[in-house]
Amino acid sequence: MKYAFIDYENIHSLDNINLKEYEKIYLFLGAQQQYISLSEKFNDLLNINLITIKNIAKNNLDFHLAYFLGKVDQEVDKQIGFEVISKDKGYQGICDYIQNQKCARKCKLISITLNNTEKNVPTVTENKSEKTEQEIEKYINEYQTFMSRTAIRNLPTTVEKLFKHICSQTSVQKLPQTTINIIVPQIIEQLSIKKLIVINKTKITYGVAGSEKLYTQYAAFLLKREKLKRPQTLSSLKNEIASKLNLRGNTAKINEILDLLKTNDMITYQDNTDNPKLVYKK
């Protein structure tokens, strides 16, 4: 009899796992994972305990899985074997620890590969990983471009809506659904790491990192020119920001850039008219 502890955040798919051989399955999902890829159909019932991680933090899922390993180890018969399913070799230590206790149980790390063999795994895994990272970066750039043109109030407010939004607004929509289910959670994770979004359980809020990046880009462009050769009125400055940063029609984002220019003492207004003249302080 065996129990499985599956690091789904790490392997992204259950396709190469014979789930029917496990008496009980503990399936751990990361904070951004909203879907489970399960291509095989089962006639028999599977005893799956789903553990969803609520918050994003480094190694958060790993700590949860380790906690359940220890908890279940104390609760069930030692004749039941444990198998940790992940590509993360860091689990080997805790598996060895469980196996070498006075009242030991069989506990091993199972590394799942695409062809479920160990032949040429390092080469295949490395090449696939590199290609996947490049693809993810492309989709992130596509969605960042979309975000830069969109007012924050019009962006998704939940992880589920963001998942669908990324699918509709980037070329990821051309991929098979099983691949989308793997790629999009990684895109969401990278958006969080870049501080473009903040995830609190299932809710999404938006940071200012996107505006700050655009501000830095425009400020660098502005500082390269003499003050007299820069826009001299507020309306001309807005037009230039819209043109240089590809923000035409995005009044909210343009105003965020203007606020940052004022906050960072780049500009001030000479008068209080509707279209004031500008004074450059740098």
The predicted-structure confidence for 259-271, as pLDDT tens digits, reads as follows 899 988 999 999 8
- Percentage above 70 pLDDT, the chain: 88
Domain that holds residue 162: 132-206
- Report the sign of the C-alpha dihedral through residues 11, 14, 18, 19, in that order: positive
Would residue 230 count as lying in a domain? yes
Would residue 125 count as lying in a domain? no
Whether residue 208 is predicted with pLDDT greater than 70 in this model: the reply is no
Residues 196 and 223 in one domain: no
Q: How many domains does the chain have?
A: 3
Would residue 121 count as lying in a domain? no
Residues 146 and 220 in one domain: no
State the pTM of this model.
Answer: 0.46
Band (pLDDT 50/70/90 cuts) for residue 256 is confident
Of 206, 225, 242, the domain-final residue: 206
